[in-house]
Amino acid sequence: MAINWTELRRAYESTCVSVKTLSKRNKCAESTINKKARKEGWSKCKIGKKPGIPPEPPNAPCLVEVTDEHIRLWGKVKKRLVKGLRNTDVKTGLEELKAAKVAGEVLANVIKGERLAMGIPAPEPDSAPTSPIDTLDDENAIALEMAQVTAPPGADTPVDGE
């Protein structure tokens, strides 16, 4: 796969994404990017280096990197949820759904805390709620949806005559 140097240079110069992240995204070595940048005179992102803009703390993670990590983690929660929904064994499926629910709640709290620590405001809702589930917060909405799709207690026990 060929490297799109134009796009890579734009990301290198205009965002605060690290060379390590850029190398992973473009499936190449960090040294390859560094050599090309040095050879062509690319200048690294200047965010926080202009007068009037406070510099970033040295170990502060970049918003793009944090967001990528959040997306990756939500993908894992989603896989677990889908696994629970597709499981034909009610008991095992329910356990998967419970684990996905707990993981989702914990992840939502972690993300909320990271956003507060980084000074990022909470995202505004895109539109007005269209269903009763939309009016609930994430945790309660997930719990309500799970209650609607899961079997009632005792559903895995045989009925007389089976």
| Predicted pLDDT at 142 | 72
* 159 torsion bin: left (phi>0), alpha (psi -120 to 50), beta (else): beta
Percent of the chain surpassing pLDDT 90:
4
pLDDT category at 35 given cuts 50, 70, 90 is: very high
- Given 19, 37, 54, the domain boundary residue is 54
In a domain, 37, yes or no: yes
Q: What is the pLDDT of residue 125?
A: 61
Q: Which of 54, 73, 91 is the last residue of a domain?
A: 54
Instruction: Kindly state whether residues 77 and 25 are assigned to the same domain.
Output: no
On whether residue 104 sits in a domain, the answer given is yes
Q: Is residue 39 part of a domain?
A: yes
Q: Are 54 and 63 in contact (CB under 8 A)?
A: no
pLDDT surpassing 60 at residue 47: no
Q: How confident is the model at residue 31 (pLDDT cuts 50, 70, 90)?
A: very high
32 & 12 share domain = yes
Tell me the Cα Rg of the chain: 23
Pair 76, 43 in one domain: no
Domains held by the chain: number: 2
Whose CA is closest to 102, among 129, 142, 52?
A: 142
136 and 68, same structural domain? yes
Does the pLDDT value for residue 65 go beyond 50?
yes
Answer yes or no: is 161 within a domain: no
Q: Domain range for residue 104?
A: 63-123+130-149
Per-residue confidence band for 59, with pLDDT thresholds at 50, 70 and 90: very low
> Per-residue pLDDT tens for 85-123?
888 888 888 888 888 888 889 888 888 888 777 777 666
How many C-beta neighbours within 10 Å does residue 3 have?
14
Q: pTM for the whole thing?
A: 0.40
Same domain as 15, residue 93: no
Which of the listed ranges 20-29, 44-53, 144-153 does the model predict with the highest average pLDDT?
A: 20-29
Q: How far apart are the first and last CA of the chain?
A: 58
- At residue 137 the predicted structure's pLDDT band, cuts being 50, 70 and 90, is low
